């Protein structure tokens, strides 16, 4: 088990002091296997007769192995799988620790540059070029990495520590870095608040995949940015543009930076058109959809749009809006704080939309559904609509948000509604026994040793073939309002979640 010539106790002490075991084992694991080795050795000697012992001592007989308990084929597979999974996890932890060590090294070097004589930028170029030669990368790349490392260590110390400890992986770290960029640039957000958000994101990263973290992080960060969403949106919408990028092989990428609502509507329209692709058309779904978009752009008419906002006029699809119950009931803030507009509305459960756009769409729209969120937890509580079956589906979509499989981020519109307890086996068609699973995970649930149970409030409990139990909570759609000053109406809505048409006193649709 240990290399020849290395004393096991010394080796374990070294690992305990921070040395890295090439197999990712911890000092405790090493100690445990050393103890087991000693126990085994002692037991084998004890099992020998006096005569056999003499033979072993004289070197005429090898020490016989103990007859171990017979392992079933199933137990052997299970053990091998556990070992494989454990080894992979140990390597991940080790990789994270090395990446963090590299980041610290770069950051420390970057910090020292400030104390060195000469021009800072020139010194940075020179150091980066030395690194570049050694690592066979460009000096620009090395410079960017040094700057990024320095920022990470100084601006996101909690995330950096969590990564070094192997509690989160580099995907999580990148997600936190990207999600907090606006927050770190906003000088009006105080340091304590920034640290609190970082802490919340790190805690979340410890139980989610980077994909899940990304969608939730956006909302958490939006909540604390002091500039109201409407103002940020008004500024951002000025950056609308079309860009063209050569992709080689006679192909190009045509992009439009535009209002999220318009992008979503255009995308949905092209998708709907592609769904009606004739069966004998040899093009794939994606090819057909791309052709639809280009046909519309090259042959469609440019609208004569004088009064409205280009790209939003003409959208009359059913708009499903998610609105915190409290935001519905408030007049716009008179103090200019825009607090209730921090979370104005969600389009199709994923894109934040500003109130102005929402008002304009609602005025044009014939069908729309309102989804009420619990004002404290942000979990959907009810939907008001006149079609109960549809309401139930809508309710489930809102509750689940994603495929409910642990770690899966597939949106509900690409998922099946699964009977948690199989319908064939007597499972009921009720909200408490239904949950969204994407096709892949729907199949996996039925074809493998995974088991699923539905607990209260839409919480699902998954048990892996290796016996690991994972909880999957319903997706939180909205913000969790923490202050309780003026949420009386919202509280009523949430204590009577079964009220089909809880009537908020509305002057406008919002
Ligand atoms: Zn899935």
CB 381, CB 374: distance < 8 Å: yes
CA of 413 to the centre of ligand 1 (A): 11
CA of 392 to the centre of ligand 1 (A): 21
Helix (H) or strand (E) holding 437: strand 434-438
CA of 63 to the centre of ligand 1 (A): 52
CA of 165 to the centre of ligand 1 (A): 29
**Token representation of residue 157:** 């110390």
CA of 285 to the centre of ligand 1 (A): 21
Main-chain dihedrals φ then ψ at residue 379, nearest 5 degrees: -85, 135
CA of 417 to the centre of ligand 1 (A): 12
CA of 216 to the centre of ligand 1 (A): 17
- The count of C-alpha atoms lying within 13 angstroms of the C-alpha of 25, restricted to the half-sphere facing its C-beta, is 17
CA of 209 to the centre of ligand 1 (A): 12
CA of 369 to the centre of ligand 1 (A): 26
CA of 409 to the centre of ligand 1 (A): 7
Main-chain dihedrals φ then ψ at residue 324, nearest 5 degrees: -60, 135
Residues of the chain short of pLDDT 50, as ranges, are 1-4, 308-319, 324-343, 365-369, 382-388, 478-510
CB 289, CB 271: distance < 8 Å: yes
CA of 222 to the centre of ligand 1 (A): 27
CA of 283 to the centre of ligand 1 (A): 27
CA of 292 to the centre of ligand 1 (A): 29
CA of 438 to the centre of ligand 1 (A): 4
CA of 360 to the centre of ligand 1 (A): 35
Residue 259: other Cβ atoms inside 10 A: 22
Please state, in angstroms and rounded to a whole number, the distance separating the CA atoms of residues 504 and 496. Answer: 13
CA of 418 to the centre of ligand 1 (A): 12
Alpha helix stretches (DSSP H) within 409-506: 439-447, 488-495
Please state, in angstroms and rounded to a whole number, the distance separating the CA atoms of residues 78 and 408. Answer: 24
CA of 446 to the centre of ligand 1 (A): 13
Main-chain dihedrals φ then ψ at residue 303, nearest 5 degrees: -70, 150
pLDDT digits (tens, 9 = 90+) for 320-330: 555 544 444 44
CA of 436 to the centre of ligand 1 (A): 8
pLDDT of residue 75: 83
CA of 441 to the centre of ligand 1 (A): 5
CA of 453 to the centre of ligand 1 (A): 16
- In three-state secondary structure terms, 346 is strand
CA of 205 to the centre of ligand 1 (A): 19
pLDDT of residue 496: 24
Please state, in angstroms and rounded to a whole number, the distance separating the CA atoms of residues 246 and 239. Answer: 22
Please state, in angstroms and rounded to a whole number, the distance separating the CA atoms of residues 124 and 139. Answer: 10
For the sheet with 469-472, list strands across it. Answer: 451-454, 460-463, 469-472
Strands 434-438 and 415-419: antiparallel
CA of 406 to the centre of ligand 1 (A): 8
CA of 432 to the centre of ligand 1 (A): 19
Where do the structural domains in the chain lie, given as residue ranges? 1-63, 83-228, 236-299, 402-473
pLDDT of residue 111: 95
How far are the Cα atoms of 16, 86, 402, 426, 468 from residue 71, in angstroms, in the given order?
33, 20, 40, 36, 21
CA of 450 to the centre of ligand 1 (A): 13
pLDDT digits (tens, 9 = 90+) for 42-64: 887 787 888 888 888 888 877 77
Secondary-structure percent of the chain, ordered helix, strand, coil, rounded to 5: 50, 10, 35
Please state, in angstroms and rounded to a whole number, the distance separating the CA atoms of residues 29 and 35. Answer: 10
CA of 372 to the centre of ligand 1 (A): 26
CB 222, CB 185: distance < 8 Å: no
Cα–Cα nearest to 224, from 261, 199, 206: 199
Please state, in angstroms and rounded to a whole number, the distance separating the CA atoms of residues 173 and 205. Answer: 9
CA of 15 to the centre of ligand 1 (A): 39
What is the dihedral angle through the alpha carbons of 134, 135, 140, 141, rounded to the nearest 10 degrees?
-160
CB 288, CB 281: distance < 8 Å: yes
Please state, in angstroms and rounded to a whole number, the distance separating the CA atoms of residues 229 and 215. Answer: 17
């Amino acid at each position: 088990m240990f290399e020849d010539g290395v004393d096991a106790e010394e080796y374990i002490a070294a690992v305990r002091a921070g040395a890295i075991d090439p197999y990712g084992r911890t000092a405790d694991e090493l100690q445990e296997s050393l103890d087991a080795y000693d126990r085994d050795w002692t037991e084998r000697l004890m099992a020998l007769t006096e005569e056999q012992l003499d033979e072993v001592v004289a070197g005429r007989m090898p020490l016989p192995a103990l007859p171990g308990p017979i392992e079933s084929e199933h137990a052997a597979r299970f053990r091998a799988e556990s070992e494989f999974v454990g080894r992979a996890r140990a390597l991940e932890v080790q990789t994270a620790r090395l990446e963090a060590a590299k980041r610290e090294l770069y950051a420390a070097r970057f910090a020292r540059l400030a104390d060195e004589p000469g021009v800072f930028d020139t010194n940075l170029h020179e150091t980066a070029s030395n690194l570049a030669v050694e690592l066979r990368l460009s000096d620009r790349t090395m410079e960017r990495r040094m700057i990024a490392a320095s920022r990470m260590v100084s601006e996101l110390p909690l995330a950096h520590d969590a990564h070094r400890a192997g509690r989160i992986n580099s995907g999580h770290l990148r997600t936190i870095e990207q999600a907090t960029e606006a927050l770190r640039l906003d000088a009006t957000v105080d340091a304590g608040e920034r640290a609190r958000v970082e802490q919340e994101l790190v805690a979340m990263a410890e139980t989610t995949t980077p994909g899940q973290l990304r969608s939730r992080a956006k909302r958490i960060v939006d909540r604390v940015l002091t500039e109201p969403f409407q103002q940020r949106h008004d500024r951002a919408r000025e950056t609308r543009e079309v860009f063209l990028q050569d992709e080689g092989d006679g192909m190009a990428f045509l992009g439009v930076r535009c209002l999220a609502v318009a992008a979503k509507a255009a995308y949905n329209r092209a998708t709907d058109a592609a769904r009606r692709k004739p069966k004998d058309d040899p093009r794939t779904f994606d090819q057909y959809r791309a052709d639809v978009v280009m046909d519309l752009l090259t042959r469609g008419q440019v609208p004569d749009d004088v009064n409205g906002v280009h790209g939003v006029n003409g959208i009359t699809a059913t708009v499903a809006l998610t609105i915190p119950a409290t935001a519905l009931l408030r007049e716009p803030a008179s103090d200019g704080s825009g607090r209730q507009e921090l979370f104005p509305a969600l389009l199709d459960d994923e894109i934040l939309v500003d109130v102005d756009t929402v008002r304009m769409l609602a005025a044009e729209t014939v069908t729309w559904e309102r989804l009420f969120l619990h004002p404290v937890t942000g979990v959907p509580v009810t939907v008001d609509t006149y079609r109960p079956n549809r309401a139930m589906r809508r309710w489930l979509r809102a509750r689940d948000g994603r495929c409910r499989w642990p770690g899966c981020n597939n949106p509900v519109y690409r998922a099946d509604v699964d009977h948690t307890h199989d319908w064939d086996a007597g499972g009921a068609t009720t909200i408490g026994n239904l949950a969204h699973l994407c096709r892949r995970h729907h199949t996996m649930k039925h074809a493998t040793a995974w088991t699923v149970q539905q607990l209260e409030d839409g919480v699902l409990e998954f048990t892996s073939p290796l016996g690991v139990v994972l909880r999957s909570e319903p997706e939180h759609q909205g913000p969790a309002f923490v202050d309780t000053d003026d949420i009386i109406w919202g509280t009523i809505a949430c204590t009577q979640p079964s009220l089909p048409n809880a009537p908020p006193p509305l002057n406008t649709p919002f």
